[in-house]
Structure 1
Amino acid sequence: MGTPLNPMLVLAAGLSAVASLLHLMIIFGGGPWYRFFGAGERFARAADAGRVYPSLVTAGIAAVLGLWAVYALAAGGLRLALPWVPQVMCALTAVYLVRGLAIVPLILFTRVAVTPFLLWSSGVCMLVGMVHLVGLYQAWPRMMGASV
């Protein structure tokens, strides 16, 4: 019997997968969904006008988040032939954490209006980043080939 899956990294994969699916739903929801999720009025108007750019950008983000979900499953113990799993996991965990913390300098050092979207999206990214970090810490010895 194989090594059991790491529950935190399975959760991390699920969170990234949900974020990926949500981005796909935004494409189909159009301008109102872009507005609701804080993408900005310019993106929302472009989506309302049928321009392809918002959909391409959003689909790209969905694809990246989906790939991150697959990497989290690989790091969590699912046997997938992916390159550089430890390195990719470190990088994507850092991206989530930095995105979560990015609001701090905005609040302290700029005059950018802190919107509810910035607050809750930063909190979500920080939470997802922390789930990844804990799972990565737990799985690190196995990923690096140490006996556990």
Structure 2
Amino acid sequence: MHTASNKYLLAASICCFATALVHLGCIVFGGDWYRFFGAGEQMAQMAEQGLWYPTIVTSALVIVLLVWGFYGLSGAGLIKRLPLTKLALILIASIFLIRGVSFVKLMPMFPENSLTFWFISSGFCLFIGGLFALGSWQQWSALGASNS
């Protein structure tokens, strides 16, 4: 694998880890953080009431983002190669990009989320998905060129 510093995959990983940290902050700091990040009043109130739902949903997102961050580092050659790295990176990029462009269809399913939340989170998803896509393309197009 081509391991010359892949800045796109490294940046995508950092974004995933930072986003996981923000989600973890919502769990730790509760309702005010859910409100600030636009998750909706219902999620904020459930967190303030000590209900399990916000913690479970947010914890799942934290885990997914951490795994995706590690796949980015793996694809960049900065950590040990993880199973199915190439496929995982393509799927991760696709999921981020699809989430980024499909927010209009998702909005009715989450009416509590603010419009600001949708624009900012969708923009971040497009940005991170683009980093994963560019980094994956760079990594394996360079690999293909070196094998020729």
TM-score by shorter chain over 0.5: yes
List runs of 5+ in structure 1 lacking aligned partners: none
- Judge conservation of contact 1:100–1:126 (CA < 8 Å) in 2: yes
Change (3 A) 1:41 1:143: farther
Q: Match for residue 28 of structure 2?
A: 28
List runs of 5+ in structure 2 lacking aligned partners: none
When normalised by structure 2's length, the TM-score is 0.86
| CA root-mean-square deviation | 2.6
Q: Match for residue 101 of structure 2?
A: 101
4+ residue runs of structure 1 moved beyond 2 angstroms?
2-5, 103-107, 141-148
Cα displacement string for residues 31-84 of structure 1 (whole angstroms, at most 9, x for unaligned residues) = 111111121222111100011221111011011101100000111112414111
Change (3 A) 1:100 1:86: same
Cα displacement string for residues 96-118 of structure 1 (whole angstroms, at most 9, x for unaligned residues) = 101110135569xxxx7971111
Q: How does 1:18-97 map to 2 (within 5 A)?
A: 18-97=18-97
Which structure features the higher share of helix residues? Answer: 2
- 1:79 and 1:141 map into 2 onto residues whose CA distance is 20
Quick one: higher RCO (CA 8 Å, sep 6+), 1 or 2? 2
Change (3 A) 1:58 1:143: farther
Same amino acid, percent of matched pairs = 34
- 2:139 and 2:56 map into 1 onto residues whose CA distance is 34
Q: Match for residue 7 of structure 1?
A: 7
